[in-house]
Amino acid sequence: MVAKNQFYHISLALLFCMGFLAFQVSCRSLQDATMYERHEEWMARYGKWYKDPQEREKRFRIFKENVNYIEAFNSAANKPYKLAINQFADLTNEEFIASRNRFKGHMCSSIIRSTTFKYENVTAVPSTVDWRQKGAVTPVKDQGQCEWGEEGYIRMQRGVAAQEGLCGIAMMASYPTA
């Protein structure tokens, strides 16, 4: 009788465990299906496509990890900002940095460091200056994955009439160089 009772309890426990595992698998499959739909919508929105099914699966896994991170971050609610899914959601941090951090420096920095500025005959200095209005810089643009200028930097020359290759006010004739 004891053996029969023990067998009954073990069978019941085993049945419960199998039911729980089946429930977990079905929930996980539903979550993956929902995430797969989100990935498909994201691909359509940003015009993404992959060369083969292996690449697509790899990018889906990265997308899923990034979405889970974004949702966990936003649910913490102790930050003054929220994260959102954007066109880079299928990239790892390393891939994003490699694709966006191609700045190699340029010659402007050496000219600016080698010159000194003297505050001579300055009576009224404005509290703010919008250098976009002065023509020294342009609004921020997303250049995608292209490198900046020639061979990764802008070659600049004083006295060149063309604006390309010039480095803002450092190239203006009125900029103090001595």
DSSP code per residue over 85-115: --TTTTS-HHHHHHHH------THHHHHHH-
Cα 158 to chain center, whole Å? Answer: 36
Question: Which residue, 101, 92, 27, is CA-closest to 64?
Answer: 92
Q: How confident is the model over 80-92, as pLDDT tens digits?
A: 888 999 999 999 9
For residues 102 and 143, give the distance between their C-alpha atoms in angstroms, rounded to a whole number: 11
At the top level of CATH, the class of 2-98 is: mainly alpha
Average pLDDT, the chain: 73
Average pLDDT over residues 159-173: 55
For residues 90 and 82, give the distance between their C-alpha atoms in angstroms, rounded to a whole number: 19
Residue matched to tokens 């954007």: 86
Please give the model's pTM, rounded to 2 decimal places: 0.46
Q: How confident is the model over 116-154, as pLDDT tens digits?
A: 666 667 777 788 888 888 878 887 776 665 555 544 444
Domain boundaries, the chain: 2-98, 104-122+145-178
Check residues 14 and 108 and name the one with the higher pLDDT.
14
Backbone CA torsion sign across 45, 48, 54, 59: negative
